[in-house]
Amino acid sequence: MTKSPRRAFVAANWKMHGTRWMVLDYATDWPEVPAEVDVVLCPPWGYLDRVRSVLDGKGIRFGVQHTAIEPRGAFTGEHAAEMAGDLGAAFAIVGHSERRRLFGETDEVVAGKFAAALRAGLTPILCVGEVLDERRQGAAETVVATQLDAVMDQCGAPMLAGCVIAYEPVWAIGTGETATPAEAQEMHAAIRAKLVREGVELADTVRIVYGGSVKATNAQELFAEPDIDGALVGGASLDAVEFAEICCAAA
């Protein structure tokens, strides 16, 4: 199998972790990584400005883990995508399985947040994936296709050309379980084939990354697959050295 020329993409999702001191230590520990990979760090909203201020210029771009659909208004506790851009973010994670499961974000809500990211000039990192029962029932590809359809129905298929798609099998997130490289490749190829069928322009250039207990020890094997263009990394991204090793593996 020949690896595609798509530029590697690795994003860190810190989830609800971090302190001021962790941010400083992270910046101190962060090594130089190859310029051939796009590296994005998505800390909690409260640390975005601090993270950007200490890591700016180190080959990292920044994103947020979620946004509101609305651009402004009386929505206590929410953050607009436009605010993320104002703080220096260029990306927004949309539809992470924890947002879907814990906060009741439906496919329609996810599509609205995808549209909000585009409206604010952010690149969406669109998360799709199935739970274990759906995979056991042979419905994994159908579930993922339905999640993609919701975005295309609301935003139009052409809008997927400018995003990053993260396939995250829900059963492999934070569990220590990881889809085999062959399983991940199969779904990545199915997603790309769907983009082609839907007429997404330059579908072969859309980056599709894997998210699901990616670590330095398994990254190289995953990234060797032709349609796996990088990773959305959770727990392992909290360690600057290990996250940098994953970035190097992608490059």
Catalytic residues: 96, 168
For 146, left (φ over 0), alpha (ψ -120 to 50), or beta? alpha
Give dist(CA 171, CA 178) in Å, integer.
8
134 CB neighbour count, 10 Å cutoff:
18
Task: Name the nearest CA neighbour of 224 among 184, 167, 175.
Answer: 184
Q: Which helix (H) or strand (E) holds 232?
A: strand 230-233
Cβ(89)–Cβ(64) below 8 Å:
yes
Instruction: Tell me how far apart the alpha carbons of residues 103 and 100 are, in angstroms, rounded to a whole number.
Output: 6
For Cα atoms 223, 228, 233, give the angle at the middle one, nearest 5 degrees: 75
